[in-house]
Chains A and B, each alone.
Chain A
Amino acid sequence: MKRKVISVLVCAAMLMTLLIGCNRGSEKTDDSSSTDEGTSKGDLKVAMCMSHQTNDFQITVTSAAIEKGKELGIEVVVFDGNNDSATQISQIESAVDQGYDGIIFEPINVDAVQNIVTYATDEGIPVVNVVGAMSDWEEYVAAYVGGDNVTAGEMEMEKVAELLDGKGNIAILNGPMGSDPQIQRHEGYDNILKDYPDITVVNEDDAEWATDKALNIVENWLQSGKEINAIICQNDGMAVGAAKAVQDAGKKDIIVTGIDATSDGIDAIESGSMTGTVSQDAAGQGSLSVETMAKVINGEKLEKTDLRTENIWIDESNVSEY
């Protein structure tokens, strides 16, 4: 009886997947007949394989990419790699086999994707990296469009050093240790800290990009008796948590900074609980990657293959523009 129920459920799930798939197909043809700008039958289809789609930064990148695609007559289909390298490799493989005209992707593991990218380019499908670059990307992909995590980290730490007049106690909240953004942003921090011997790192921990973890950790640090003048967070998600803990403890002159300029960070800067953040122009990365892919598909020669978006420091002085 149980086995029957399970097999019925599995069949239902498969049927649903089929129906959804067919539905998407028919939706596409509806779109192409009703809109006149750009989209038409024989539309270019580009796969966008991201590491995950569970935060503001990621969503901003892909939304901008999809918008840009509509402008240029390209249908951008987003895939969520769930932060798992094997999943991403499968997705890229499927994209090749399903005949996508181009693949834009953000490598989850910079050393795991060499083979699959070679497979794609051998099949004549151009590949572009976005947000992060695979190792030796120059030899594998047509271009890299992204922010520079190292310079973002440098900008954040430099601003804090300025605000502290070159001396004080700081605490650092990292993303998941060993992840590429974490490593690169920390490299940026270290590059700047070299020149400021009077700034001491008194606390450092891994808050896994999460607001609630950051909140608990900072809440406890503030009770440790050590004086902390600034809390530098590797992303806005954690910075928002740190800022809340600082507010709750009544220590409003502690500087709190983040990176990414996501909506929660912007809100916190507007309300005054957070000092500043570094925008890596997520939207710019998304749309530029599609623009670049369009050029490559059309056979245009790119003047530059290494395209970095600008880092912008956002604090109370310019937050209203965001």
Chain B
Amino acid sequence: MPKSRLAALAELVLAAALLVPALAWAGPTLDSIRQKGTLRCGVNSGLLGFSAPDRQGRWSGIDADFCRAVATAILGSPDKAQFVPTNTQNRFTLLQTGEIDLLSRNTTWSSGRDSTLGVVFAGTLFYDGQGFMVRKSAKISSARQLNGATVCVLPGTTTELNLTDYFRSHKMSFKPVVVNELPQIEQAFFSGRCDVFTTDLSGLAVTRLKVSNKDDYVILPEAISKEPLGPLLRRGDWEYFTIVKWVLFGLIEAEEYGVTSANVDKLKAESKDPSIQRLVGTSGDVGKGLGLDNDWLARTVKAVGNYGEMYARNIAPIGIERGLNAQWKNGGLMYAPPIR
């Protein structure tokens, strides 16, 4: 039947024509963010302290606050951040395909991710390390005693690879139990399916707080890896990359110079200190250089606080000291290049 073949051909041509706009280059991220008026931000679907929805459905946590900070700098208001829950498997794909504009989801910065995935990390928001949690009744005091253990681990993470490396380099063996979502893997660990749960030390601290008998579980002292967690974005828009990077540095620098959400308006009106004047935008034109206005950092700090305030609000309540995340002047690693 020639007619139906013709129809099929027409359909194919039509389908091809329809695919063109869908696959075409999406254009610079910054333009599309401004055009939409929202910053779509991929976050953890539920990790207390980093990003988790509260009872009113409002996202809280340091990762979520960083999204708000970027949204405030670019779009003027923290409410312009739109949160998209992601898991360890789909996070990079969502970013690559343009479903989200920023991934702020306790994601470890590594050379492989920075170079092969078409994404680029803007910096480190939280310095972490990988640890192990076991039952107290197992009477284990060091990760070196874990030979033969069954280990619960999230798939597609640097955690999974570090775990394997650690056991291999210490000539030990383990059995992995791999579950995709955090609540399920925590359940598997607490029910006794696994002897060990491994993730970043901050995550372990949060997990341990979730059970009433938290004293029955211990976090082993070893940190077996470096886990610098930070925000990342798609390659191909250097203006946007520069803004995200300097929002991060700006929050850290604001803490260093004592600019807080409470005193930023006062400093703007009164401060004669040239460093602070540059931070709050009353002198110089830092913001203009970034393609924003000079008020960018002042309004961001006013909306979400400086890095120290974000830490105190989100991370301190889960019982993690500043440690590596203290300002460099206090012996930590938080060192922002100068804003000038």
A associates with B = no
